[in-house]
Amino acid sequence: MSSGSSCAEVNFEGDPLDLLVVAPHPDDAEISVGGVIASAVSAGRRVGCWN
């Protein structure tokens, strides 16, 4: 996930993620833990979302 974008599809190949957000619906991650996602990305963490 890049800064300024919504959760993108997770690519399980490559470097491991620091944070994986699992949400039942496409916008649930942004609505429920958007602040945590933004904070982690701002801190340089690799974040992925899986719906």
Q: Which residue has the tokens 């991650």?
A: 29
The domain tally of the chain equals 1
Q: Note the pLDDT of residue 2.
A: 46
Residue 13 domain boundaries: 1-51
Structure pTM? 0.70
Two structure tokens written together for 16 = 């491991």
DSSP 2-25: -TTS-------SSSPPSEEEE-SS
Using an 8 Å Cβ cutoff, are 16 and 47 in contact? no
Q: Note the pLDDT of residue 9.
A: 59
**For 1-42, how does the pLDDT look when each residue is reduced to its tens digit (9 = 90+)?**
444 555 665 666 778 899 999 999 888 988 999 999 999 999
